[in-house]
Amino acid sequence: MKRYCIEIAFDGTNYHGWQNQPNDISVQEVLEKNMSILFQHKIILVGASRTDAGVHIKQTYAHFDTENELPKQLLRRLNFMLPHDIAVNSIRQVHETFHTRFDAIQRTYHYYISYKKNPFNLNKEYLYPYEKVNIEAMNTACEFLKSNYNFEAFCKRNADNKTTHCRIDFMQWTMPNEHELVFCVKADRFLRGMVKGLVGTMLKVGRGIYSIDDLKQLMATQNKSMVSFAVPGSALYLTEVRYTPEFYNIPFL
Q: Which of 12, 105, 3, 87 is nearest to 55 (CA)?
A: 12
Helix (H) or strand (E) holding 28: helix 27-39
Identify the pLDDT of residue 156. 83
What sign does the CA torsion over 121, 125, 130, 134 have?
negative
- Structural domains of the chain ordered from first start: 2-103 (3.30.70.580), 106-239 (3.30.70.660)
Q: Quick check: 126 and 114 in contact, CB under 8 A?
A: yes
**pTM over cut 0.75:** yes
List the pLDDT tens digit at each of the 253 positions of the chain.
999 999 999 999 999 999 999 899 999 999 999 999 999 999 999 999 999 999 999 999 999 999 999 999 999 999 999 999 999 999 999 999 999 999 999 999 999 999 999 999 999 999 999 999 999 999 999 999 999 999 999 998 766 678 999 999 999 999 999 999 999 999 999 999 999 999 999 999 999 999 999 999 999 999 999 999 999 999 999 999 999 999 999 999 9
Distance CA 19, CA 50 (A): 6
* Catalytic site positions: 52
Helix, coil or strand: residue 212:
helix
DSSP state of 133: P
What sign does the CA torsion over 30, 32, 35, 39 have?
negative
CA 11 to chain centre: 12
Identify the pLDDT of residue 159. 64
Where does 111-167 have alpha helices with state H?
A: 135-146
